Every structure is written in structure tokens, then in C-alpha cells.
Amino acid sequence: MEAFVHRTISADGSVCSSNLSISTTQLLELASADSPSIRRIGWHIIGGISNAVDTRTFAYFPMNASAAGFAGEMLSVGLNVVPFVWAASPAAAELEGVVMDWVGRLLGLPQRLLFSGGGGGVLQGSTCEAVVCTLAAARDRALARLGHAAIMKLVVYASDQTHVTFQKGARLVGIPPSNFRVVPTSAASGYGLAADAVRAAVDRDVARGLVPLYLCATVGTTGLGVVDPVRELGEEARRHGMWLHVDAAYAGSAAICPEFQGYLDGAELADSVSMNPHKWFLTNSDCCCLWVASPRALTSALSTDPEYLKNVGTDGTGNPAAIDYKDWQISLSRRFRAIKLWVVLRRYGAVGLRAHIRRHVAAAKWFERTVAADERFEVVAPRKFSLVCFRLRASFAGDADDVNRELLAAVNASGRAFMTHFVVDGKFVIRLAVGGAMAEMQHVMDVWELLQDKAEDVLQRYRL
């Protein structure tokens, strides 16, 4: 790397003029498998990264990729448009609106969240960005009624299974950390966020003069893949005028299959819904869908309107004739993500995407059933999608947490699989997340064989 830097930057720090242009021949030579630069990437980079699309990777949640997603990403990068205002790239802005309604209808989202029903959608880079945007919209909607000084009274509610992104987002929009409520869950509710528990927390805060602001319901939590009761939580949110956000970052993709759309029941009560196609929808990173019921609430919090960014012309009502997506996100500049998602949808279609989801769910179902049949193991939480959480039983493991840590370390050290863990009710559990674009049943069966071998080795040491 040092030699490469010295070839492009002179000793006094100035850029060498000979490197400011590159011919087609040079470009092809650079991309050749035999080029020194490519060999260096193989030596120094590839060997030091975890490949999210490797068939041996079952860690975290899947980061999908596909030939269509790659082609779409190349188009996005190659065209290099920046569709922050409609006039900057009309086709890019229009395509994004079309694609967002397409995906929303495929997932069975209510009409009120789509452009065709008065709502609308935007492609963000990640759920983190979507969360900050919706929190800002909820904050400004409340403060317009209460006055800015009331920001110290605003309260955000989530469960102990909700992604930590929401706590970070709340801090970023000025909500005091002491006003973030982490509502406990339990095995009795399947670790879902119970509406009764939220109601009790809200009633306590209201009695203290605080203002309920925002409630998150998750469809497919990160740790266990749990589904919160969206309808019940939506009714609780409406009782106090809270903003309800449905975080379906991982499992929202499964709603393209009719049999999983029931998990989004009650989404018509939501102010916003987010889903990450780059997790389980064959779309290369980064790509996050965010739908809102009230685009005006979002843009009121995020819009900027300097003269040099204004589109000329209106729709006859005095309102802008087109969408300026700069007002739907944190940053001003943005990528042409819509063409990537459009290529994926056109290439695989609903039938192909459903087959992709169902293949992984079937493999996870087999794994769950097989784990449960082995008396040494237990399934910690019922599987809903393609995530299985399990552990060696305490009766076989002595100090079960230590043994399960050792088992996970042994599996990962083998180089034959990569998994991660979670802790629930103080118990260390192992997560197997099926979802890689190339993952097949055989790969899951191979992991089970590996787990059995390593479990026997670990338990043997503890028996001694």
C-alpha cells in the first residue's frame, strides 16, 4: 500500500499529473486478475474480511447480494447521478417513487403508506438513517403543538429486544437519555413487546407530566427474530397520539410471501415502516425502504429550501410539482439506489423473491426441528422466519454459558462456519441466521454436523 501511495503522490505532497487520467488499456490492465494491484487485494484484503455472502456465514443477519443487485449497483455508480432535487435527475426521482410503491404493494402494506394513497416512500442507506428521520418528524410534530421547551418532556418507548439504533437516534434528535423507556419483555410473551406493559409505562410518564412521543414495534428483532404485536401497539400509540414506527429491517422482506403478511397486521396504524432490501431481498448494500403516512410531517422536519435548490414550476396549487428527495433524508446528496432495486425486481420478480425467502425459511425450519430433537440442545425462542436461537442445555453443560461460549468459539475457529450470539434472560444463546443469497439446505445440514462434532468435543472436556 505504501508503494502504491508513493506512485500517486509526490514527495512534496502534490498529486502527480501523470496519474490524473487513465486510458481504457490501463483500466483493463488494472482490473486484470494478473495485475499487481489485484494480486495485492487478494493478499492483503480478501484474506482479512468476512464474506457476508459466503455459504458458511450465518452470523448477524444476512447481507444479500445477487447478480442483478450487482448490475444495479454498477449502473448506480456508473451513471453517477445525484437526485437530491427532481430537476437534477427527473428519471431517478420518478423511478424511486414507482419502485417504493411497487415494493409496498408486494409486501401488502396499507394504501395510506404509498404514494398512490397519500403517503410515500424513500430509499435510505440504512435503518439508522430512517430512524433518525422519523424521530425528527415525530419530535417536530409534537413541538409544533407544545413549544420547543417541551423537548425535555418527550418520551420514546421500545422493548429490551429493540435494536439499539433507536436509543442512538433518540439522542441525536435531542431526546434526553433519561426519557428513553426500555420496556422489559419475557418468555411468557415470546419476548414480544406487550401492549399492557407499554400502557403501564406510558401512564406512569403521563402522571409525571411527561409527553409520550414515539413507539417502536419490531417485526423480526435482531437478537431472537421476535415479532411485536403491531396492531395492539398501534392502538396504544393512538391513545396518546404517539408516532408508531414499525421496524421490519430484517423480516419485512418475508412479507412478500402471503403467509408472512399477517405479521404486519395493524400496519395501517403506523406512521412509518422500514425494511432493508439489502438484508434479505437480493439487493446489494446499501438500501433501506422507508414509508411514511404523512410525507409533510417528514419534510417539515428535514426540508431545506435555499433559492439555488428550488425547482421552477408548481402543480397549479402553489405546491412543488415534483418530489425533492433531499427533504426526505438527513444528507443533501444521495445515491441512485432506485435503479438497483428496480433491476432486482425486474430480474427476479415476485415469484423469484418468494422462492428465495421460502428456501431459507424451510432450511431454518429443518434446523430448528433437528436441534429440538437432540436432547443435548434446546431452542430458546420459537422461530418465526429464518433465524434459529439455540444452546446446549444446562443439564448437559455444567456452566451452560461458558460451555456455549466455547462451542461457538470452536465452530467459528474451524473456518467451516461463522455464527454470532445473543444474551436473553441472562442466558448465552447461539444464533443461526439463514439468508445468504447462495445458502442451500445442504449448507445448513453441514453446520449441524459441525455443531454436533464440536459439541461432543466441548462436552467431553467438561465431563473430565
pLDDT grade for 310, boundaries at 50, 70 and 90: confident
- Helix (H), strand (E), coil (C) string for the chain: CHHHHHHHECCCCCECHHHCCCCHHHHHHHHCCCCHHHHHHHHHCHHHCCCCCCCCECCCCCCCCCHHHHHHHHHHHHHCCCCCCHHHCHHHHHHHHHHHHHHHHHCCCCHHHCHHHCCEEEEECCHHHHHHHHHHHHHHHHHHHHCHHHHHHEEEEEECCCCCHHHHHHHHCCCCHHHEEEECCCHHHCCCCCHHHHHHHHHHHHHCCCEEEEEEEEECCCCCCCECCHHHHHHHHHHCCCEEEEECCCHHHHHHCHHHHHHHCCHHHCCEEEECHHHHCCCCCCCEEEEECCHHHHHHHHCCCCHHHCCCCECCCCCECCCCHHHHCCCCCCCCHHHHHHHHHHHHHHHHHHHHHHHHHHHHHHHHHHHHHCCCEEEEECCCCCEEEEEECHHHHCCHHHHHHHHHHHHHHCCCCECEEEEECCEEEEEEECCCCCCCHHHHHHHHHHHHHHHHHHHHHHHC
- What average pLDDT does the structure give for the chain? 88
Between the ranges 39-43, 49-53, 120-124, 317-321, where is the mean pLDDT highest? 120-124
For residue 47, what pLDDT is reported? 72
The predicted pLDDT at position 30 comes to: 57
pLDDT band at 19 (very low <50, low <70, confident <90, very high): very low
What is residue 9's predicted lDDT score, i.e. its pLDDT?
36
* Band of pLDDT at residue 16, cut at 50, 70 and 90: very low
Instruction: Read off the pLDDT of each residue in 155-174 and give the average, rounded to a whole number.
Output: 96
- pTM value is 0.88
pLDDT at residue 200 in the model: 97
Overall average pLDDT of the 233-252 stretch: 96
pLDDT in tens, 414-445: 999 999 999 999 999 999 999 988 899 999 99
- Percent share of the chain, pLDDT over 90: 72
What does the pLDDT read at residue 40?
Answer: 75
